[in-house]
């Protein structure tokens, strides 16, 4: 199988707090270095997307999240792999954020999210989220 055939399923958390949304910057050592993303990661075999998201948020940031509404999935082909993102709107239930993998985080109002240099797969996710906000669902 060529590298281009690799397709991964990834969960990601749109974490809301006090009207702001958390964005996380990938480290220089990660794939897609220094791009911004929503925290999360690859779904392991046998795991539900929600189980994956809970595990990843503990591993990456030391927080326990409450998982809310799912947003439409986003599929994107990068040069060496394809990803399907499974986004969920979340809030922090417990824990204080400690960055174990990311270079930085920032809390932004939803309408400022587009100012960051996002991983390309995230761009439609931001669009779906903003549509929810505009429709008054959030």
Residue 96: C-alpha distances to residues 41, 60, 64, 93, 110 (Å): 19, 12, 9, 10, 22
Q: Does 30 bind ligand 8GT (CB under 6 A)?
A: yes
Stretch that binds ligand 8GT, among 30-38, 46-54, 91-99, 127-135 (CB under 6 A): 30-38
Q: Count the helix, strand and coil residues of the chain and give each as a percent rounded to the nearest 5.
A: 25, 40, 35
Cα 48 to its chain centre, rounded Å, is 16
Q: Which residue do the tokens 């509404």 mark?
A: 69
- What is the phi/psi pair of residue 130, to 5°? -65, -35
Binding mask 69-108 for ligand 8GT (x = CB under 6 A): --------------x-x-----------------------
Q: Which of 22, 71, 92, 121 binds ligand 8GT (CB under 6 A)?
A: 121
Q: Which of 102, 122, 126, 129 binds ligand 8GT (CB under 6 A)?
A: 122
- What is the phi/psi pair of residue 90, to 5°? -135, 165
Q: Does 65 bind ligand 8GT (CB under 6 A)?
A: no
Q: Shortest gap between Cβ of 2 and ligand 8GT (angstroms)?
A: 17
Distance CA 82, CA 60 (A): 22
For ligand 8GT, the binding residues in 33-62 under the rule CB under 6 A are 37-42
Residues engaged in binding ligand 8GT (CB under 6 A): 8, 10, 12, 30-32, 37-42, 83, 85, 119, 121-122
């Amino acid at each position: 199988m060529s590298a281009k055939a690799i397709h991964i399923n990834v969960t990601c958390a749109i974490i809301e707090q006090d009207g702001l949304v958390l964005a996380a910057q990938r480290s220089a050592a990660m794939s897609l270095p220094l791009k911004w993303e929503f925290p999360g990661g690859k779904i392991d075999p046998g795991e539900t997307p929600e189980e994956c998201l809970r595990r990843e948020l503990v591993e990456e940031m030391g927080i326990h999240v409450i998982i809310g509404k799912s947003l439409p999935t986003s599929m994107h082909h990068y040069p060496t792999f394809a990803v399907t993102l499974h986004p969920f709107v979340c809030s922090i239930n417990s824990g204080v954020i400690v960055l174990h993998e990311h270079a930085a985080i920032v809390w932004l109002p939803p309408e400022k999210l587009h100012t960051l240099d996002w991983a390309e797969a995230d761009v439609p996710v931001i669009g779906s989220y903003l549509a929810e906000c505009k429709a008054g669902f959030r």
